[in-house]
Amino acid sequence: MAPTSALYGTSPDVARRILDDIEDQFRLTKDDLIRITTQFLEDFALGLGEYNHPMAMIPTFVTGVPDGTETGTFLALDLGGTNLRVCEVELLGNHEFVLRQQKYKVSEALKTGEATTLFDYLADSVDAFLTEFASAVPSSPTTDQANPFSSPSLNDLPPEPAVPLGLTFSFPVEQTALNRGKILTWTKGFAAKNAVGNDVVQLLQDAFDRKHLHVRCVALVNDTVGALLSRAYTSGGCVLGSIFGTGTNGAYVERVENIKKLGDSPARQKGGFMVVNTEWGAFNNSRTVLPTTPYDNKVDRESINPRYQAYEKFISGMYLGEITRNILLSLIDAAPKPLLFNGRSSKPLNTHYGLDTAIMSEVEEAWETGRVPVVPVTKDGESKPAANGAAASDLQPQVPDWQSAHFTDVDAMTPDDIARLERIRGIIIQRLALDPEDVSLRDAAIVRWASSLVANRAARLSGCAVAAVLVQTERAKLGGGYVTDEERISVGVDGSLIQHYPNFNARLRDSLRELVGEEVEKKVDIGLAKDGSGVGAALCALQATKQGH
């Protein structure tokens, strides 16, 4: 870690040098960003060419995205934890939809019992939803005829149309078609017997058939793919769906000819486009280009999956608080004189994952209070602020360089910034359970600085993933110098960081601008993708019907 030992003395200048050294470890230059994005593109090519790479580049067999003009009613079933969710999505054809949904609890007995019992419960939940809440229940054939002797038999009547359903199944599967996927293993406390190795779509369809439900499972969906489809419907097209929240992932539209690992399969021979689920959380597990610090190494070493999901551990909400906690502890433990909190710690600071990323967000929110907001994520129905096509970043001030240790110099601050630090001090005392006597305004400034340092690096690294997709899909050139003819490049995002963390989106855009140039960055419309696991799954059912499933 940064040197914090007695060898470096205890003067203010030495303390500042220690902070400067930590800061240097978290800085990312334009050359760093380009090197990381170049590796992203190399890993994309590896994953598209062969199976069994960390960057899995999973073909989804979704060969198109909606444009918002489609109509119809589709169901979604979302199974991924303690609850399952049944949704009905009515597409209105004007980029809008009506969502009805209901949650049902999955008991421990169902999680660990026979697979048929679990899937029967899923089917029963869909049945209960259709009976109680939905408008999509197919009408039953009527036998009320004037002359009963002249009526056709029920067998001669046309069959009821089955309602298409998309299944979001948040467990490892090996997907071989849009409506086929073999369960590889259970996670999250599930261990249903006689399920692993079987096709999850078939297990669900068999349960529907046993219950005589007119529902057809037509698509197996990943929530990131769902985010892409959801944004495509509400914004009239989308090239990338991405999650920047507790975890991270991205799915984008790729030319089928580039997915070489499909070989001579019918899907590849058909050509066109296909959505690819990158699984980019596993980017650079070897950490050859990611800017690893000792604070990151500690997070990885103590995690449940050391050496895996490297990129995710640098940028996702699950880990940012833990990286920050490690920085703060190193300053608390500095010798011979501590550099933070008079050398005192607390239960939250001494607890693994005891500093939640939400606390960092609160601290940064308090620091931003009263300042002009920058670059919000576009919501549905909103357009960019300028009619001339200017990006939001043209119309808002740039985010100041809050990561500089200069901003820990309390004596040089304005009265407004002192007031902000007082609020931050209150947050630290309350959320980190510290004695007020041990928390100075300078301590508050250091916590804010460390939070900003970690979050800024995360946002800038996130920009590398977005830039890599723009370059991969020939909408940009790394380093700038090429501008696509498209007026707008739609990117769908979901997740707590991109939605709620102060300035995360603005910093991601700064990174994107450095990587692909200002002209391309201006065209990128980063907008909220609503409910990838629900609405997105229903839209995947729409795509499946378009594809003839």
CB neighbours (10 Å) of residue 407? Answer: 20
Closest CA to 220 of 249, 185, 179: 179
The answer to whether 358 and 245 have CB atoms below 8 angstroms apart is: no
Q: How many helices (H) and strands (E) does the chain have?
A: 19, 13
Closest CA to 309 of 293, 285, 290, 274: 285
One of 120, 223, 296, 531 is an active-site residue; which one? 223
List phi, psi (to 5°) of 40.
Answer: -55, -50
208 sits in which H/E element: helix 200-210
List phi, psi (to 5°) of 352.
Answer: -55, 125
| 223 annotated active-site | yes
Exposed (0-12), middle (13-18) or buried (19+): which is 66, by Cβ within 10 Å?
Answer: buried
CB neighbours (10 Å) of residue 239? Answer: 22
CA distance 122 to 301: 38
The sheet carrying 215-221 orders its strands as 97-105, 83-92, 71-79, 163-169, 215-221
449 sits in which H/E element: helix 441-472
Count of residues in the chain? 549
Q: Which residues contact 146 (CB under 8 A, 6 or more apart)?
A: none
CA distance 516 to 475: 9
Report the SS3 class of residue 255.
Answer: strand
The answer to whether 278 and 239 have CB atoms below 8 angstroms apart is: no
86 sits in which H/E element: strand 83-92
What DSSP designation does 162 have? P
CA distance 129 to 152: 32
Does the bond joining 141 to the residue before it have cis omega, within 30 degrees of 0? no
Write out the two tokens for 423.
């609020």
The answer to whether 394 and 386 have CB atoms below 8 angstroms apart is: yes
Strands 215-221 and 180-183: unpaired
Range list of H helices, 27-156: 30-49, 108-112, 115-132
One of 30, 67, 103, 188 is an active-site residue; which one? 188
Angle of helix 415-431 relative to helix 441-472, nearest 10 degrees, comes to: 90
| 188 annotated active-site | yes
The answer to whether 449 and 19 have CB atoms below 8 angstroms apart is: yes
Active-site residue list: 188, 223
